Amino acid sequence: MITFENVTKQFPDGTTAVSEVDFSVNKGEFFVLIGPSGCGKTTSLKMMNRLIPLTAGTIYVDNKRISDYKINELRWNIGYVLQQIALFPHMTIEENIAIVPELKSWDKNKIKNRVTELLEMTGLDPDTYRHRTPSELSGGQQQRIGVIRALAADPDIILMDEPFSALDPISREKLQDDIIDLQKKINKTIVFVTHDIQEALKLADRICLMKEGKVVQLGKPQEFLTNPANDFVRNFVGSSHHIGDDFLLKHAVHQLSDTPPEDAYTVNVATSLQEVLDALSNRDEVYVTSQNNVIGKVDRKIMVDYFATSLKKGSEKHV
């Protein structure tokens, strides 16, 4: 879907923000760019929709060089969500969401139906919210509108630049859960920039960790936890060589609220941490059995919570 080939970005002052980077983002993938400040992650994101021109190399979208697209054609197919929500304050929520569809000359009824659909999709009652202005919404609600505004014209790609970092922890966790649920419904190609490793582990299908303009490690979340490429990755993730040594699946299991489906994937309660992570790499959840009886289930969020607790305990030991 999106491919970087030997991409470099050098600014006029001589700063090289991105240096000979290669990676690909698959269609329908939730791809997270992460790294310390100044690593090149936001620059890489902005080059995808030509907000920043690249210096060397090539970026492809759908096997076509981005330089070969007309700028409006490219950007109308790429939704963009910023940390600074940038809703127009004197426009209603409906008017904010409708901006790109109106620019694309959509029929008024089609736009109205699309606004209704998107508000319902994110748990906001259309009759209540469509005529409100941004100042009448909480920070979390405003950011939710920012997300669905990027979806309004049904683009194939969504770029998200630290969209939740300015929110309080409770709102942030709620929006993370919302975006996971939303992605299951819309199946877009999402490129998400964050500096928060727990957020990356929770959201990503794959993570690309950058340092000083280069890719240090690219892979599935569990690979960063169990097989860090070097000390920089290990320190960034915050893991130690012993993370998971005391893992017992029975302590991570959540009780069931309903009956498991007939085709449920199961693992035994004695299963190792690596085997659990492998099982969750290509499915949303796994069910846990003991003596041939299902006793609960685990999913990616449960495992992220486990690692977050383990990492916190590890850091406290070294205080």
Q: What is the mean pLDDT of the chain?
A: 89
Mean pLDDT of 190-197: 94
| pLDDT tens for each residue of 203-255 | 999 999 999 999 999 998 888 887 889 999 988 987 544 556 667 888 888 88
Does 17 have pLDDT greater than 80? yes
- Cα 275 to Cα 281: distance, rounded to the nearest angstrom: 10
Across the range 84-108, mean pLDDT stands at: 91
**Where do the domains of the chain lie, and which CATH numbers do they carry?**
2-237 (3.40.50.300), 249-317 (3.10.580.10)
| Residue 118, both tokens | 């998107």
- Per DSSP, the chain holds a count of helices (H) and strands (E) of 14, 13
Return the residue matching tokens 């969750």.
280
Residue 310 has pLDDT above 70, yes or no: no
pLDDT for the residue numbered 53: 96
- What pLDDT score was predicted for residue 318? 41
Residue with tokens 């320190």: 235
Residue 26, number of CB atoms within 10 A of its CB: 13
pLDDT(314) > 60: no
> Residue 247: what pLDDT?
77
